[in-house]
Amino acid sequence: MRTLGVPGRTATVLLAASIGVLATGTAQAQTGGTGSDGYWAVPPPYVSSYLPGDNGGRNSFDYQPKNACVTRDLGQQQVVLREKPWGQQYLQVDEAQQLVRAKTGAAGRGIRVAVIDTGVTRHPYLPNLEGGGDYVVAGDNGLNDCDGHGTEVAGIIAARTPADQIGFTGVAPDATIVSIRQSSQNYQKPDAGGATSGQQTGGRQQNDANGAGTTQTLAQAIVRAVNLHVDVINMSVDNCRPADGSITDGERAVQAAVRWAVDNNIVVVAAAGNTSESCPQNDQADPNRPRSIVTPPWFSDDVLSVAAIDENGGVAPFSVNGPWVSVAAPGTNIISLDPSKGSNQLANQTIENDKATPIQGTSFAAPYVAGVAALVAAQYPQLTARQIMNRIRVTAQHPGAQGGRDNFIGYGVVNPVAAVTAIVPSEEGVAADSAQQLPSGLPDDGAKDWTPMIVALAGTGGGLVVLLVVMFVMRTIRRTREAR
């Protein structure tokens, strides 16, 4: 068991973990256009001048703690989870790993995955872990996870668990995690004051004083990951706001940063976002005029945006819909690493409003896809980042929608086995498929010669006339004889 402490109280839960969701932006909104100009579903053009530096992997100031960090009560009885997570079985992760190991000898070895999140706590099942920077506390290096969220995300990507002990495993257990702490719900600005009770889910708006993390520092963290030469970036933190036809400086910085990352051959994966009071679902009549805009998923030309499905294979109700959704992955009833310092256990619950609830969110669907990207990168080292992103899209289990995608799960649920084995035509120089009218196999319809039919019909008609005449004559003769 572990406990989550906040001022004045302590909440206890079986193998719990944090679910923090959103990092926010502080830049002032700029009105660069209106909805009719395409600033709703489609972002404005990329502007390279907004690309920030990484500021040395540090923020310009230290956030201050407001809640106690995730801890584990060593006096309580441990509960060991030995079942294999449903998402791992649903995606056939083990089979995909076997295929990659057969070719490379490992499952993601040599691939570096940046986790831009709430930090990653050291855990026995994360042997390949590096600190990459800290935008919350300048003196740290990304290896302190006060919230627990980033540790759980990292576990889904690259946890290496004993084969004879636990069914749970990371998607790419031989990959290296590079942790960059960029946000936290347990820290706030020095002048914010006050404290909130417990972890929170849902959207936080820009200039939010109740947490650490802005779109500007998110952009800096992305650039930091590029400078650290990672192969994949996972962002399970994002910003949701009303779609009002504007774009902020912070959003422009993120847009420039993700373009910079992909241009430097790095696969960028981001959570699609979770609905909340401040982030309403995009269920309006016109899908091209969404109610909510989520960053970084909004910049889908350069980002694999990941929606969440539940155990029935349906779209999770909290998963934000939108034209930018790329693919989907499991996002409910998650099992991952217990993020408490000193723990060697797993987690399957979190504290929300003083209650133990299952871990869920698009935050935990994204790392499944980041792990698949790591496997693909290891399996096909010659592929570029855009080719890897395209391979994940085209091998997904497409929905029955026009064009093979929709606004709920994008191009479909990710398919790890297909992603590491399929032949993708574009990689072989083969043109993409296009609709064609297929021949029936019958001879062409030539000009009709109606003469035989006319002769046949004329002969038939003449025969009928003769027959009628004969019948008339015979009937007349018969009646004459009877009259006598």
Catalytic residues: 117, 149, 363
Burial of 434 (0-12, 13-18, 19+ CB in 10 A): exposed
With a CB cutoff of 8 Å and minimum separation 6, the contacts of 418 are 395, 396
CA distance 462 to 438: 45
User: Is residue 386 within 8 Å of 379, Cβ to Cβ?
Assistant: no
Q: What tokens does 127 get?
A: 């042997």
Those residues with Cβ within 8 angstroms of residue 45's Cβ, 6 or more apart along the chain or in another chain: none
Measuring CA to CA, which residue among 213, 192, 171 is closest to residue 20?
213
Contacts of 96 by beta carbon, 8 Å cutoff, 6+ apart? 171, 372, 375, 416, 417, 419, 420
Q: 328: part of which helix (H) or strand (E)?
A: strand 327-330
Give the Cβ contact number of residue 441 at 10 Å.
5
CA distance linking residue 179 with residue 262, whole number of Å = 19
C-beta separation of 26 from 205 below 8 A: no
The length of the chain in residues reads: 484
The rounded Cα 414 to chain-centroid distance in angstroms is: 9
CB of 126 within 8 A of CB of 169? no
Q: Are 239 and 295 in contact (CB under 8 A)?
A: yes
Cα(2)–Cα(76) distance, rounded to whole angstroms? 8
Greatest alpha-carbon span in the chain: 136
**CB burial readout 104-113, b (16+ within 10 A) else e:** bebbbbebbb
